A and B are shown apart, each in its own frame.
Chain A
Amino acid sequence: MIHSFKIKNFRSFRDFKFEPLERVNLITGSNNVGKTALLEALYLNIAPATALSSNSGSNTDESSTRHNLFRGFKDIRYPLDNVTKWGWLFHGKELSRDVELASARNDGGSRLTMDWWIEDKNGDIPLTSDIPFDDLQTLLLKVQVERVNGRQETPQVWRITRSGHRPPDGYVFDSIPLRLLLNVYSRSPEEDTKWFSKLDDVGRQDEVVSILRLIEPRLKSLAVSTSDGPAMIYGDIGVGRRIPMSQMGEGMVRLLSLVLEITNASGGVVLVDEIENGLHHSVLTKVWRAVGEAARRSNTQIFATTHSWECIRAAHEAFLQNGTYDLRLHRLERINGDIEAVTYDQKTLDTSVEMHLEVR
């Protein structure tokens, strides 16, 4: 589990510490304060092999990354012919300041850096701020990942230039599993079907069903069927025939997606954008109990954003009921020009909820 995360010079973060972290981390704050950028930074640090690869299937064509998923782009090609596009990732678009994203886990950690170079036949030359690099043909962005997992591993380097995107030599992999649940594009039922089937194949259906029962106590079992066309998940609630999950309401579908992502990211991390979306306030406490239970069972860590007071209150109440209070609320706030995380533990969140004090 990640217990500390540090960001330097990435998007709106100049020098940012995110700690202490818990099993479930709820992130709040006003608009445009960096919540999505924080999820992006976590994504890049935890799963660089996925984030820096292309959905198009080729890693050697134009530079392309998936981290733009958070901005509503499923895939975007970024040839390095325009520094501005990659400059978005640098704080204040000052390309001379290196980006650094560092996570610390109980069993290791990783550090990702991004910096600019000039390709030269005699070797790469660090870019200095006084070079008008926008028009340079030889500009190079290096993304380097160093991991510590009990032992120091050889750093992996992605080289991004005008001519293409070169991943590290050899097999590139993420150190821990990472799953995303975003709202910027519609989630397809096929995705849930695929992940459910993977769990069902190894006899883990009950883990999902028992959690969905918190919202729909009549649910007996789930099954994948193609009787109505494409493969979909159906539920048996004892009414004679199975019902497509999509017909059981948005809350059930949302909880199913959440539970599937948490369960499939066993040992890793799930990033959830606006977790309360699609959920009625009356079921939020149950959903949080379910999320907490699934996260503990799968040893998954969750980072979720929210704007909802009801969602925060429900999470606090659910984790109090759980007995194990492994929840932290973090509010991102701009203080003296820099973004900082203000973190609530059980006691301070309890007082705030009890006295109805604003925390967002």
Chain B
Amino acid sequence: MSAPYTLDNPLTSIPLELDQPKLLIGEGVEEVLLFGALLTHLGIGDVRVEQCGGKDGLPAYLDALRLRPGFAELSSLGVTRDADADAMAAFNSVRQHLQNRGFVTPISSGNIEAGTPRVGIMILPDGASPGMLEDLCLTAFETDAFTPCINGFFECLETTLGNPPDQMSKARLHVWLAAQNPPDMRLGIAAQRASLTGPKDLSTSSEPFSGRCEVGFDAPQKPLLLDLFPFRIHILVRKCDAIIL
């Protein structure tokens, strides 16, 4: 797999090329790092992951995408977005932006529409609930031994300050990350570190995420994944013995 999943300095690196037949678009750098780590772990090498610079950046990103060298050779395009308060509104917004630019679009989150390129849309965390990428990740951590500590921390905060943080799922995830070693990793970097070693190694290693959980695609068989990708991206959080975040 090429190496688009890094925090390159844009002034010193070469411009981003469409170097794979499939393209997965996330809102920001966290999605790029996390999806990249996941794909690396799954051994899927024909998917490029990019960010569109936030939900408001999607229209301009799509306009530029259609002009890029290699766009004509793109076979599949997947767009992910946080549901925020309304998953249906988020889906309709992404769908409209795609349709306005001549893309065929699926009728619901998690589906693929045949076309050139094929297009899939996935609203996080599950296509129906309000929330975001971090909600998806949190469900992976909910049975951790120290989850009651995190709960207690936020109960204490609410008692002391009188109101919870605006984005509770992000706040909870960052507290969880702060409990890891090292304590200052962002989500995407943590995912990348964990993905550097495979699940077998992790299950017996002393890596920080070892023995936690797995974030994976709903199709466990790699050939099926390759066949469907993108993007029936029902990203599921499955409990397991090893973290493969």
Contacts and interface: CB of A to CB of B under 8 A. Distances in A.
B67 A348 contact: yes
Interface string A342-360: 1110011011101111111
B72 A357 contact: no
A351 B61 contact: yes
Contacts of A343: 67
Contacts of B142: none
A335 B63 contact: no
A331 B64 CA distance: 13
A309 B63 contact: no
Contacts of A348: 60, 63-64, 67
Interface in B1-31: 10, 13-18
B222 interface: no
A333 interface: yes
Nearest to A336: B72
A355 B10 CA distance: 8
Contacts of B14: 309, 358
A309 B15 contact: yes
B61 A359 contact: no
A30 B69 CA distance: 10
A30 B70 CA distance: 12
B130 to A, nearest CB: 28
Contact of B67 (A335, A344, A355, A356): A344
A355 to B, nearest CB: 6
Interface residues of B, number: 17
A358 B64 contact: no
A342 B16 contact: no
A299 B60 CA distance: 32
Interface string A112-126: 000000000000000
A355 B16 contact: yes
A57 to B, nearest CB: 45
Contact of B17 (A344, A355, A358): A358
Given A358-B68, A358-B69, A360-B69, A351 B63 contact: yes
A344 B69 CA distance: 12
Which of A348, A350, A351, A354 is packed against the most chain B CB atoms within 10 Å?
Answer: A351
A93 B33 CA distance: 50
Given A335-B72, A355-B53, A347 B15 contact: no
Given A333-B69, A344-B67, A359 B15 contact: yes
A360 B68 CA distance: 8
Interface string A315-349: 00000000000000001010100000011100110
Contact of A331 (B18, B65, B69): B69
Nearest to B60: A351
B16 A359 contact: no
A357 B16 CA distance: 5
B64 A355 contact: yes
Nearest to B61: A351
Interface in B43-84: 53, 60-61, 63-65, 67-69, 72
Most chain A CB atoms below 10 A, which of B17, B18, B63, B64:
B64
B108 to A, nearest CB: 28
Contact of A356 (B16, B60, B72): B16
Given A347-B60, A348-B64, A359 B53 contact: no
A352 B64 contact: yes
A309 B13 CA distance: 11
B63 A347 contact: yes
B155 to A, nearest CB: 41
A359 B17 CA distance: 9
B65 to A, nearest CB: 8
Given A347-B60, A348-B63, A351-B60, A359 B68 contact: yes
Contacts of B16: 355-358
A276 B13 CA distance: 19
A340 to B, nearest CB: 10
Given A335-B72, A356-B15, 18 more contacts: A30-B69, A309-B14, A309-B15, A344-B64, A344-B67, A347-B63, A348-B67, A351-B61, A351-B64, A354-B53, A355-B16, A355-B61, A356-B10, A357-B16, A358-B15, A358-B17, A359-B15, A360-B15
A-B residue pairs, 5 tightest by C-beta: A356-B10, A358-B15, A351-B64, A351-B60, A358-B17
16 contacts: A309-B14, A309-B15, A348-B60, A348-B67, A351-B60, A351-B63, A352-B67, A355-B53, A356-B15, A357-B16, A357-B64, A357-B65, A358-B15, A358-B17, A358-B69, A360-B15
Interface of B: 10, 13-18, 53, 60-61, 63-65, 67-69, 72
Interface of A: 30, 309, 331, 333, 335, 342-344, 347-348, 350-352, 354-360
